[in-house]
Amino acid sequence: MSFVLLEDGTRFDGEAVGAPEAVTGEVVFNTAMSGYQESVTDPSYARQLITFTYPHIGNYGVSEAAMESDRIHARAVIMRDARNHTRGAERGWLDWLRDGGIPAITGVDTRALVRHIRDAGSMRGGVFVDDTDEAAAAAAIAAEPAMSGLDLAREVTPSEPLELAATNGSRGPTIALIDTGVKSSIVSSLRARGARLQIHPCTSDADAILAGSPHAVMLVNGPGDPAALDYLVEQVRRLVGRLPMFGVCLGHQLLCRAVGLETYKLRFGHRGANHPVKDLTTGRIEITSQNHGFAVIGPGGEHTIEDDRPVRWETDFGTAELTHINLYDRTVEGLRLPEARASTVQYHPEAGPGPHDALHLFDRFIEAIGA
Amino acid sequence: MPRRDDIHRILILGSGPIVIGQAAEFDYSGAQACKVLAEEGYEVILVNSNPATIMTDPEFATATYIEPLLPGPVTKVIERERPDALLPTLGGQTALNLAKALHEDGTLERLGVELIGADYEAIRRAEDRELFRETMISAGLRVPRSATATTLADALEHIDEIGLPAIVRPAFTLGGQGGGIARSREDYGRIVAGGIAASPIGQVLIEESVLGWGEFELEVMRDRNDNVVIVCSIENVDPMGVHTGDSVTVAPQQTLSDETYQRLRDQAIAVIRAVGVETGGSNVQFAVNPESGEIVVIEMNPRVSRSSALASKATGFPIAKIAARLAVGYALEEIANDITRATPASFEPTIDYVVVKWPRFAFEKFHGVDADLTTHMKSVGEAMAIGRTFGQAFLKAMRSRELDVAADLDVSLETLLERVARAGASRFDELLEALRRGASLETLAQATSIDPWFLRELEALARSPEAAFAGVRSYRSVDTCAGEFPATTPYHYSAWERPAPDGSARHEIARGERPSVVILGSGPNRIGQGIEFDYCCVHAAMTVRASGRDAVMINCNPETVSTDYDTSDRLYFEPLTLEDVLAVVELEAPEGVIVQFGGQTPLRLAAGLERAGVRLLGTSVDSIDAAEDRGRFGELLERLGFQAPPYATARTLEEALEAADTVGYPLLVRPSYVLGGRAMEIVYARADLENYLRRSATAPDGREIFLDHFLENAIEVDVDALCDGRDVVIGGIMQHVEEAGIHSGDSACVLPPHSLGAEMLDQIREQTRGIALALHVVGLLNVQFAVISRPAGAELYVIEANPRASRTVPFVSKAVGRPLAKLACSLMLGETLASLGLPSELMSGRFVAVKEAVLPFNRFLGADTLLGPEMRSTGEVMGVAADFPTAFAKAQAAAGAALPSSGTVFVTVTDSDKAAGAGLAAQLHDLGFAIVATSGTADAIERMGVPVRKLRKVADGSPHVVDAIAGGEVDLVINTPTGSGARSDGWEIRRAAVARGIPCITTLSGGQAAARAISAARQGEPQVVSLQELHRTP
Ligand SMILES: Nc1ncnc2c1ncn2[C@@H]1O[C@H](COP(=O)(O)OP(=O)(O)O)[C@@H](O)[C@H]1O
Ligand SMILES: Nc1ncnc2c1ncn2[C@@H]1O[C@H](COP(=O)(O)OP(=O)(O)O)[C@@H](O)[C@H]1O
Ligand SMILES: [Mg+2]
Ligand SMILES: [Mg+2]
């Protein structure tokens, strides 16, 4: 019997369907009903075991076009009723997981697991195969470091800088992208809008970034605790105000930290494709793609924003305002520094997977650079 | 932006009678909307002709008008009530078309009524097929190549450019009525002509076929701030070419990648914006090419729909409720999600289970119709099931159908394959059987174009259906969010899972400490068991709650109010089988179970429940048996000294022929234990009986058939009564318009009786009391009588007694102003009639109420429209007025068979009716009608001194009667049967009348009522009056 074990000792049985190995990490859940391949290849899931709440995962196989990076980053996949169908796709989902060396387990009562995590918070755990001894499993979990305080961006960042041309033929701006584990959808969203990208390792120094004479800086998603990335926040502080800047997800958290805000670990994170986010400056609501375990605390120490007006305060970079909130739990979802021409969102405008409601933010960014 | 306070009174239009394509979902939506608007402090004015709806209960509106949904009566309502706004998006196509008409004739502007929810232009852009196309193209969306035509000649010009097969879709019709797939040139001409006739604006769209592509629906909501959410995606397992209403459907969609799904989502949003539905819900349908991923838009409905009801039940997101709030000014973010309470309605539900909807068909009642599934809808109801996997949901839905006639699978594999390719009512039963016999997935994919994902799932189910139900049954909640937030609304389904880890709960049920009562619903709508029973179940839930107990509902029909999670304290969305019900009962440990309100469905379970030790509230299983068992019931009547028609039972042909002679012809024959008079026939002679027995009755399992002496020319009477075991209260006595022999469900009836003497009524009351007490009824009892006039005076016969809620309970409740089902439920919970303080009879007598049945013949061209003892109506309407003729005229108009006020009547009656038929013709002549008739009837009419023109019979060659009807020369047909055989003249005549949409009356009693109604209608548009006024105690 294979099983999922959580650090608090809760156990859920299932059948192993991926690579026949044991693995530990942080157990999280994602409530999107499609887009499983995009999720597992999203580098932000590094060191995490993804539980999909939708029971049938694998229905339409996997394909090259749906890759969010060059490999699977999630450590394992936990499912209720996996499928290996391949029609219209290049590969079967389970075949692909197995070949990628990723343990996967199906037949798990994922709803019970999710309700447990929802109430107890996300925690470490593991997927274990072939009647692993439970005590040994528990020991393996205990050996797994907790997510808080982990710098994982360093694990997924490229070792060398890289340049990429625009894909729409036009000669748009050059954007320096600090790669903390970027999703392909961000890269392609920018390139499709005419941007030329200079992709830098996340350990790059601001001077090295500026040396390429970019017109703007893009901060992106990535795994781990933003509080462990002070070295990067330091470089961001050196870039803000000098160039227009747009940040997504971890990038949002980094810019927030750069203007002096704190971040904290959410109880079980936001992972899915249905969270409503309100832009307080326009009143518009977008249905968003989400994947984050940490969030930003407001300038007054507030974890939630109760008012529907942007919170404003003064920073080293001029006035700052919290522009977006999550209507589910009223947590911070966006920041803007008008004078520094910088803005960020916690969610994923690039979709991949999820709704396209916020794609326009990339247009706004490109326009802002032009201006 | 909060609630609008510049409007105070809002007019809501219902959808009228249940018909194919427009069923209980509009009662669910409308009732939700009425509740919400009242909560918001608005005065609601409601018009709906269907008394069997919760929304027309007087407490749901400030003023409730049970009036025809036609411009005339609705204008009168507007003039009286002066609403500020009209919300037209809750009453289906009927309400939308009516609102459009009221705008076009200037009424809305004249009386200062604003359309809210969808404005006139948006309705037009969505409903006018050509405008819709243009709108889509200018929004950059793809639609199938097409052309519109208003004449056949037009249409023929386009045939080459569109190609064959071509899809013909009439504008502004419901459920694809009048449309079809033209595979050949001959088809093309025929279907186009039919479509033009069916369209209220005489327009059809002829469209490039995308048969075999995947069919998807998205439910979209938009608010005044232009924020848009997708509530649910629905995938049709049956690909394009089978109407969504007839397709097995799944939510959420299963086979599209996120990339393709997001493109659909983007397009759905683009559609609602382009059409310009400012607030509310819409349904957008797409076809997706499985090879290329290409998407075309098929249509959008700018209103709540069958699919939106399904989406609401599938996700827990109450679309109609929210649409009503949006219409009065709220934004999505200002509305709380009922289920989580903590989060707003501006989100997209995500689910962690699978929902399967299965249509319920009734072809067995319509001999001779084309039973292949196509682009116009033919199903009469639906069942939905929720499971944790597709397999669980699919098999649960399958067993929720409660088929009367199992699919015939005893055929060769070849035949099975042919059948699945054609798509009929049993398509999936056949597919599973073919898979069991080893048919390959490729063959089946080829034959059906069903996505291989589904075929593989079916293959697994065919191999081992048990595998889907491995593990233990654990009840889960529908929470809109896949467990991300705690849910407060107790809406549950059973899942089969691995046993829960130690220390955690197996079920997500918050049972609480209060005693509970389980109410069993009535399952999918079908002919004979419709919305009336759901109405009663909802009333039972209200009563149980009011008594301080928890009401627990079990049902599987997504259209209904009973499966609204607001209706009961806990809702279990489950099949109504003994096993599924017992599992709920085990968990709930209820004080008792109520089986009296859900029609035959729960009654079938009663004995099994009792055997399992479950306490049933109300009338006992033994009493139910005493009423249903012919022998026991016969003895009971004998003991009471009441008369019943002589009868016998038989198991074989020989037995039957012998018994027939003792009982005496004519006979009414039928198999035992059927509802709605299925397979029931009147036979006049031995040869007919033999023929009947050979064809159908002696069931192979050797079940009994009944032979009753058929009472000719009898007046049928229906009584609904309440009994607490000691006292009896007569709820209402209804006299049928058509004579006994026409099923009570298909017959019009009048309350109070219009032509029975006081003495006879007393006798009816006395016998009803006698039967109620003898059966120890606790709750409701329905008794059907037949009254025969004999030279010595009228005689009363008991036809049957049903110790349960009957189909007429809602009608009677509306007519007498007392909620019969609620009162009955109180009795079942231990109250007495004395403690309820009821008079011995509830009839008010200040006005006349007429119920008329609505039949689906316009969808089943080819079926004989002749009424008989087998019920075939899908719904009913009510007409109320100070006198019978006016009430009858209203009911006819509401039923869609408005009687002409002038023109030509065609009369052709059977020999025994000739004299009376001639009298009727004379009456109509006096009313100014021209009379035409076939020769025999014409002779009789001439003898009365009435001018009449003779028409040729079909056999005598053109131009004959059918040509005359088809050519529009006739405005009303009166035809009593001389035989119902296919292709008889009568059949041709009735069919032509239906195709032409003119009223066709098949009984003399109906004809006489019509003549009186026509004469009454001469006084001008009748008064309208609200239920609240009618029942105001003077
Ligand atoms: N171009 C087409 N090719 C093939 N099937 C079609 C086409 N258009 C419509 N259909 C089928 O006909 C059904 C009814 O058409 P629709 O426009 O949705 O009418 P309705 O208003 O009755 O819902 C659809 O559900 C679909 O299965
Ligand atoms: N003996 C009879 N003589 C005349 N008509 C009858 C007789 N028995 C039944 N009917 C007619 O057949 C219809 C259906 O019969 P009923 O016993 O009420 O069946 P169901 O259980 O389907 O309601 C009745 O409504 C009535 O019109
Ligand atoms: Mg449709
Ligand atoms: Mg009956």
Segment B665-674 shows an average pLDDT of 81
User: What's the Cα-to-Cα distance from B467 to each of B461, B475, B678, B990, rounded to whole Å?
Assistant: 8, 18, 36, 51
Distance B800 CA to ligand 4 centre (A): 7
Write out pLDDT tens, residues B78-96.
Answer: 999 999 999 999 999 999 9
* Residues forming a β-bridge with B97: none
Lookup: tokens for A33: 């009903």
**Would you state the pLDDT for residue A330?**
96
- Is B754 strand, coil or helix? coil
User: What's the Cα-to-Cα distance from B406 to each of B285, B364, B525, B860, rounded to whole Å?
Assistant: 32, 11, 17, 21
**Would you state the pLDDT for residue B659?**
92
pLDDT band at B198 (very low <50, low <70, confident <90, very high): confident
pLDDT band at B624 (very low <50, low <70, confident <90, very high): very high
CB-based contact A126:A23 (threshold 8 Å) = yes
- Among the options A270, A275, A292, A348, which is catalytic? A348
Q: How far is CA B117 from the centre of its chain?
A: 25
pLDDT band at A169 (very low <50, low <70, confident <90, very high): confident
- Is A62 strand, coil or helix? strand
Phi/psi class of residue B233: alpha, beta or left (left: φ > 0; alpha: ψ in -120 to 50)?
beta
CB-based contact B357:B248 (threshold 8 Å) = yes
**Would you state the pLDDT for residue B844?**
67
A202 is catalytic: no
Distance B245 CA to ligand 1 centre (A): 10
Q: Across the interface, do B389 and A13 touch by the CB < 8 Å criterion?
A: no
Segment A67-80 shows an average pLDDT of 98
The share of chain B scoring above pLDDT 70, in percent, equals 97
Provide the ipTM: 0.97
Phi and psi torsions of B361, nearest 5°: -105, 165
Q: Across the interface, do B333 and A35 touch by the CB < 8 Å criterion?
A: no
Segment A55-63 shows an average pLDDT of 96
Candidates B484, B496, B508, partner chain A, best to mutate (most A CBs within 10 A): B484
* Residues forming a β-bridge with A325: A278, A332
* Residues forming a β-bridge with A247: A219, A344
Lookup: tokens for B351: 């689910």
Q: Which atom of ligand 2 is nearest to B870's Cα?
A: 14
Q: What count of other Cβ atoms lies within 10 Å of the Cβ of residue B945? A: 9
What strands, in cross-sheet order, belong to the sheet with B85-87?
B63-65, B43-47, B9-13, B85-87, B114-115
Lookup: tokens for B228: 């848009």
Lookup: tokens for A85: 């169908």
For tokens 């796709």, name the residue: A89
E strands along B302-409, which residues? Answer: 354-360, 381-387
CB-based contact A232:A240 (threshold 8 Å) = no
Q: What count of other Cβ atoms lies within 10 Å of the Cβ of residue A360? A: 12
**Would you state the pLDDT for residue B698?**
47
A100 CA: distance to closest CA in chain B (Å): 21
Q: Which atom of ligand 2 is nearest to B709's Cα?
A: 1
Candidates A56, A62, A80, A305, partner chain B, best to mutate (most B CBs within 10 A): A56
Is B627 close to ligand 2, i.e. is its CB under 6 Å away?
A: no
3-state helix/strand/coil string of B477-491: ECCCECCCCCCCCCE
Distance B651 CA to ligand 2 centre (A): 20
Instruction: Give residues 452 to 471 of B whose Cβ lies within 8 Å of A.
Output: 452-453, 456
**Would you state the pLDDT for residue A153?**
97
Measured CA to CA, the distance from residue A165 to residue A187 in angstroms comes to 10
User: What's the Cα-to-Cα distance from B850 to each of B752, B884, B889, rounded to whole Å?
Assistant: 9, 7, 9
Segment B766-776 shows an average pLDDT of 98
DSSP state of B616: B
CB-based contact B546:B618 (threshold 8 Å) = no
Q: What count of other Cβ atoms lies within 10 Å of the Cβ of residue B1006? A: 24
User: What's the Cα-to-Cα distance from B779 to each of B534, B617, B627, B727, B734, rounded to whole Å?
Assistant: 17, 9, 14, 11, 19
Size of interface A-B (CB pairs under 8 A): 151
Report the sign of the C-alpha dihedral through residues B959, B962, B966, B967, in that order: positive
Whether residue B992 has pLDDT greater than 90: no
Measured CA to CA, the distance from residue A259 to residue A238 in angstroms comes to 11
Residue B855 touches partner A, C-beta closer than 8 Å:
no
User: What's the Cα-to-Cα distance from B827 to each of B292, B597, B777, B832, rounded to whole Å?
Assistant: 63, 13, 10, 6
Report the sign of the C-alpha dihedral through residues B428, B245, B319, B142, in that order: positive
A262 is catalytic: no
Q: Which residues contact B517 (CB under 8 A, 6 or more apart)?
A: B544, B549, B550, B551, B552, B590, B591, B592, B593, B594, B617, B829
Whether residue B469 has pLDDT greater than 50: yes
pLDDT band at B504 (very low <50, low <70, confident <90, very high): confident
Number of alpha carbons in the 13 Å side-chain half-sphere of residue B268: 33
Q: Rounded to the nearest 5 degrees, what angle is found at the Cα of B99, between the Cα atoms of B93 and B102?
A: 140
Closest CA relative to residue B385, chosen from B567, B588, B563, B587: B563
Q: Across the interface, do B352 and A351 touch by the CB < 8 Å criterion?
A: no
For tokens 């052309």, name the residue: B147
**Would you state the pLDDT for residue B674?**
60
Closest CA relative to residue A93, chosen from A65, A71, A60: A60
Whether residue B200 has pLDDT greater than 50: yes
**Residue having the nearest C-alpha atom to atom 24 of ligand 2:** B743
Measured CA to CA, the distance from residue B1025 to residue B244 in angstroms comes to 38
User: What's the Cα-to-Cα distance from B646 to each of B629, B654, B787, B799, rounded to whole Å?
Assistant: 15, 19, 15, 10
Write out pLDDT tens, residues A100-129.
Answer: 999 999 999 999 999 999 999 999 999 999
Segment B105-129 shows an average pLDDT of 94
**Closest ligand to residue B678's CA:** 2
Measured CA to CA, the distance from residue A371 to residue B1019 in angstroms comes to 75
**Would you state the pLDDT for residue B978?**
64
Taking all residues of chain B, what is their mean pLDDT, rounded to a whole number? 92
Candidates B259, B266, B461, partner chain A, best to mutate (most A CBs within 10 A): B259
For tokens 């936990």, name the residue: A78
Whether residue B700 has pLDDT greater than 60: no
DSSP state of A7: T
Write out pLDDT tens, residues B339-392.
Answer: 888 889 999 999 999 999 999 999 988 888 889 999 989 999 999 999 999 999
Q: What count of other Cβ atoms lies within 10 Å of the Cβ of residue B251? A: 29
For tokens 């049985």, name the residue: A13
CB-based contact B282:B307 (threshold 8 Å) = no
A256 is catalytic: no
pLDDT band at B673 (very low <50, low <70, confident <90, very high): low
**Would you state the pLDDT for residue B854?**
94
Q: Across the interface, do A12 and B501 touch by the CB < 8 Å criterion?
A: yes
User: What's the Cα-to-Cα distance from B1000 to each of B199, B965, B995, rounded to whole Å?
Assistant: 20, 11, 11
**Would you state the pLDDT for residue B696?**
64
